[in-house]
């Protein structure tokens, strides 16, 4: 079974954005269910990091203008077994992308908290 973990940064980001977008908790729950079925969702960014486009229903812009979730799939053994860490969540209207240095720092911090 695929287990899902949340980095402290992801928790902080999701709490902040949940106040802005009321449907976000349900949108994230649907994403977690999809990740359990397919841990390799999204675009591979290297270093076992994947970027997933997430539509926010209350924003009304679909995946393209929604949010982005970065995941760490380092501990995924197979499509049916492993651990995924949700690293961060950001609104695409607030931030276009993350730099390689920012992604490496997120990985370092998330692996420190494991």
Write down all domains in the chain, each with its CATH number in brackets.
2-112 (3.30.2310.20)
pLDDT at 114 over 60: no
In our burial notation (b when 16+ CB lie closer than 10 A, e otherwise), range 34-55 reads ebeeebebbeeeeeebbbbbbb
Look at the pTM and tell me if it is higher than 0.85.
yes
The β-bridge relationship of strands 2-6 and 81-91 is parallel
Rounded to 5°, angle at Cα 45 from 65 and 102: 80
Confidence of residue 73 (pLDDT cuts 50, 70, 90): very high
Q: Is the pLDDT of residue 112 over 70?
A: no
- Place 65 in a pLDDT band, splitting at 50, 70 and 90: confident
User: For residues 114 and 99, what is the distance between their CA atoms, to the nearest angstrom?
Assistant: 23
């Amino acid at each position: 079974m695929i287990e899902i973990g949340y980095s402290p940064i992801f928790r902080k980001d999701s709490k902040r954005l949940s106040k802005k977008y009321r449907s976000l908790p349900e949108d994230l729950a649907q994403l977690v269910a999809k990740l359990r079925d397919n841990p390799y969702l999204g675009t591979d960014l290297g270093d076992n990091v994947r970027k997933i486009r997430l539509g926010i229903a209350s924003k009304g812009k679909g995946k393209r203008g929604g949010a982005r979730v970065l995941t760490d799939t380092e501990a995924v053994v197979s499509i049916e077994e492993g651990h995924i860490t949700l690293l961060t969540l950001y609104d695409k209207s607030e931030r276009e992308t993350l730099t390689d240095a920012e992604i490496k720092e997120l990985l370092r911090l998330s692996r420190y908290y494991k």
